[in-house]
Structure 1
């Protein structure tokens, strides 16, 4: 994030929440602890205000940009992690009530629709000022959420058809 602009840990927390936090979970404490490690490693600098709250502002150094370039060039073949409470509940639905399964499907359908709509709005907003890679990231978010939304819509239809027969 510091590649875009110098920032305080609070700034980083806000930026992450509205950008990469959509697909990469961060402990907020990490955004306060990690800059100190990066300063110690010589990848970023730290400037502390002399008065007031003594805010710490971090800025990336050339060595940090080089480390970022190296990281970007490494192979990325790890399995995508999916942590979805709705899928976990669906897996164990055999031990619940049929009405609960239908309610779960409706809740998850609505949640994924809202998330897709939110991503679509972010994509439209980002298109005005962000780089194309940030826009592509959000575009994948839209597509993913629409795909999962469709899964739950199909499942709702299946459950409703079973109820009618």
Structure 2
């Protein structure tokens, strides 16, 4: 991750994934923290989970780093609107062009429960399999609907991320379906 010296000449800090989420979202246009939360919610929030409170804190840090500018509303709620700077675009570009060797994380609570299922009641396995199959099918179906809804306005790269989401969810849906069939064949479902 990139390391920067902040505007006040203080210690450099490394940008993290949330930093790049904010820079990426601001590259589409100025936004308040609430706007960022909304943008993330209907886009990358489908596959990148993190605390939304970070979207309220990180823009201020990026202002301090000189990667984002802030303007404050004159009256009313005095909301702050953030815009990406040229330095912010450069940092985002550097990050996009850097190699990505990190391992993919699969944080699926159903998979975690399956791993530890030997410690619990074996009778619950069929319920777990049905629940997870249903959940992943619903997510895949929702991605398909979202793909159809945004296909005229999203970039090809945004559509590709949705395509991967669909493929992933269908693959996991199939896994749970196959597992349920195994349980039924063994008389455990």
1:137 maps to: 161
Matched, 1:109 2:133: yes
SS state at 1:28 partner: coil
Q: Distance in 1 between the 2:168 and 2:138 partners?
A: 13
Q: Which runs of 5+ in 2 are unaligned?
A: 1-24
Matched, 1:82 2:109: no
Which string of whole-angstrom CA distances, capped at 9 and with x for unpartnered residues, describes residues 106-133 of structure 1? 0000000000001111111121101000
Which string of whole-angstrom CA distances, capped at 9 and with x for unpartnered residues, describes residues 86-141 of structure 1? 01111111122232000000000000000000111111112110100000001100
Matched, 1:14 2:35: no
Matched, 1:96 2:120: yes
Which string of whole-angstrom CA distances, capped at 9 and with x for unpartnered residues, describes residues 15-49 of structure 1? 11111111112211110111011111111110100
Q: Distance in 2 between the 1:26 and 1:20 partners?
A: 10
Structure 1 vs Structure 2 CA RMSD: 1.0
SS state at 2:83 partner: strand
Matched, 1:56 2:80: yes
SS state at 2:69 partner: strand
More helix by share: 1
Scaled by the length of structure 1, what TM-score is found? 0.96
Q: Distance in 1 between the 2:53 and 2:175 partners?
A: 35
Runs of 4+ in 1 over 4 A off after TM superposition: none
Matched, 1:38 2:62: yes
2:29 maps to: 5
1:118 maps to: 142
